[in-house]
Structure 1
Amino acid sequence: MLAIFEQSIAKPPLELSLPLAGQPDKKTRQEIAQIFRSQKPGDSTLYRLPNGNFLGVSHGGETPSHPRSVIVMEDIFCIFSGALDNTPDLRKYYGLSRQATEAMIMVEAYKVLRDRAPYPPDQVIKDLQGKFAFILFDSKDSTLFLARDREGSVPLHWGATGDGSLICCSDAELIKAASGKCYTPFPPGCIFLSESGLTSFDHPLHKVKAMIREDDDGSVNAIIFQVDFYTRLHSIPRRGSASNWAGTTVVEGE
């Protein structure tokens, strides 16, 4: 899984842009797209979106325990990795057929969040049971939605590119090459939504903070995000429908 979006859609936390010790040059969005296609020949699909944003998925290295599925429905893109243990219950809840994949379920869950504002984002994620990570983008609403299971069972990393765009990727080597070491694991049990930022779906009233680790000489060598149980938010982040976002999509695949 790969996603890169400009700051106007998904602004990375400031800590992801901190210079790390021994950090090489970061790549541009266009350079990262080229790296993705060169490293994933023959089994990858790249969705090129307006303004140089894009989503990518590859089935290379896929395992039975962490299958990947992708769906595009009503201008909503969803890439899902992993499996849900309560898929039959979720299909019934959202009125879907028995053929509905996990990616389809997440699109329906997102539509509930989008269309029934104000609605806390943790409500559509906390009942998911299983090992998963997903990247969802609503091209009409210009909204990016990410989540990872409580144990962090499925790989998902995020970081900042050379122009300050947000990059999310399941491949550690790819994101390392793209962001110049300026990346870290996406925190388990958390959600990132364009308007409300990073929150915990188990502890939505507590802030998720970045913990910065330094070498003996004071250089930053790691950034880890975790729930801060000493900092309580005033209210649960909520969001509503925004103005439509027009744009065309070009799909590349082999």
Structure 2
Amino acid sequence: MLAVFEKSIAKPPEELSLPSSMGLEKSMTREQILENFRSSCTELTVCNLANRNFMALSEDDNSFEHPRSIVVVDDVFCIFIGTLENTSDLRRHYGLQRQATEAIVVVEAYKVLRDRAPYPTDQVIKDLQGNFAFVLFDAASGTLFAARDRNGGVELHWGLAGDGYLVFSNNPNFIKEACGNSHSPFPPGCIFKNGSELKSFDHPLHKVRAIAREDDNGSICGVIFQVDLYTRLHSILRTGSAANWADETVVIFEGESRPDEKDLNAF
């Protein structure tokens, strides 16, 4: 899968661009990325959006374990990879037909979040059980929404193209070629919604930080994102709730910081 969005809409974390700003490898432009993706696929669906944004899905070697699909419902576009273990329960919860796919369930969950606010983003995604990753775009409002399951069972990566476009892909080799060093695994158990920070849906009161990776020469060669064990964000409990919706147990999803990693707050 491939999804590319202009920076003014996506507004990704600034840390993604740090390796390129240090004068390392050049990355491709949006046009080059799409052309490379086209040339690598025999069966391809491309949804061209406004301002040269697009979402594309290859049907080549579609995995039975982690199937890929793309749907469009009421100008909401969604690429979904993986499976949900509780699809039947979610269909009943959202009043959907038995034929509704996982991608349609995700679109409906997003629409509930959008239309019936206040409804915590992390709580909506937390209801999804299984191995999955998705990228959703609401063309009417210009809202970009991406998430990856808490176990990291499905690959999802993001990075910055040479012209500043934000790129999503489930193929780590492809996104490395497209974005040079300005790419990173999308952190498991996290959600990204433009206009807000990258956050953990299991631990929404703990900040997700960017950690710089250095090569043998001490140059920054990339970043990873992980949940901060030691920092809690200020919050207000939901009225009428018997308990805080943040779990007390905290997990660093991408592993402990190594000696060659630096917290990007230092930059």
Hey, what's the Cα distance between the residues in 2 that align with 1:86 and 1:98? 13
Partner residue of 1:120? 120
Q: Give the TM-score of the pair, scaled to structure 1.
A: 0.88
Hey, what's the Cα distance between the residues in 1 that align with 2:162 and 2:222? 18
Partner residue of 2:135? 135
Structure 1 residue ranges without an equivalent (≥5): 237-254
Hey, what's the Cα distance between the residues in 2 that align with 1:233 and 1:132? 27
CA contact (8 A) 1:210 1:224 kept: yes
Q: Does 1:73 align with 2:73?
A: yes
Alignment of 1:77-88 (within 5 A): 77-88=77-88
Partner residue of 1:232? 232
Counterpart amino acid of residue 103 in structure 1: A
- Determine helix, strand or coil for the equivalent of 1:9: helix
Hey, what's the Cα distance between the residues in 2 that align with 1:235 and 1:60? 45
CA contact (8 A) 1:23 1:182 kept: no
- Determine helix, strand or coil for the equivalent of 1:111: helix
1:93, distance to aligned residue in structure 2 (A): 0.2
Partner residue of 2:244? none
CA offset digits 1:120-155 (Å, max 9, x no partner): 110111011111001110000101110000111111
Alignment of 1:160-175 (within 5 A): 160-175=160-175
Q: Does 1:215 align with 2:215?
A: yes
CA contact (8 A) 2:135 2:146 kept: yes
CA contact (8 A) 1:24 1:180 kept: yes
Q: Does 1:26 align with 2:20?
A: no
- Determine helix, strand or coil for the equivalent of 2:154: coil
Counterpart amino acid of residue 24 in structure 1: E
Q: Percent identity?
A: 61
1:117, distance to aligned residue in structure 2 (A): 2.0
1:23, distance to aligned residue in structure 2 (A): 4.0
Partner residue of 2:6? 6
- Determine helix, strand or coil for the equivalent of 2:217: coil
CA offset digits 1:88-118 (Å, max 9, x no partner): 0000000001000000000100001111223
Partner residue of 2:252? none
Larger radius of gyration: 2
Hey, what's the Cα distance between the residues in 2 that align with 1:28 and 1:221? 20
The worse-fitting range, judged by mean Cα deviation, of 93-102 and 225-234 is 225-234
Counterpart amino acid of residue 33 in structure 1: L
Partner residue of 1:252? none
Structure 2 residue ranges without an equivalent (≥5): 237-267
Partner residue of 2:191? 191
1:229, distance to aligned residue in structure 2 (A): 2.3
Partner residue of 2:50? 50
CA contact (8 A) 1:123 1:201 kept: yes
Q: Flag as ranges the 4+ runs of structure 1 deviating above 6 A.
A: none
Q: Give the TM-score of the pair, scaled to structure 2.
A: 0.84
Partner residue of 1:158? 158
CA offset digits 1:8-54 (Å, max 9, x no partner): 211121111112689432111111111111111x2111111111111
CA offset digits 1:216-252 (Å, max 9, x no partner): 432012311010121222238xxxxxxxxxxxxxxxx
Hey, what's the Cα distance between the residues in 1 that align with 2:235 and 2:165? 28
The worse-fitting range, judged by mean Cα deviation, of 114-123 and 147-156 is 114-123
CA contact (8 A) 2:181 2:222 kept: no
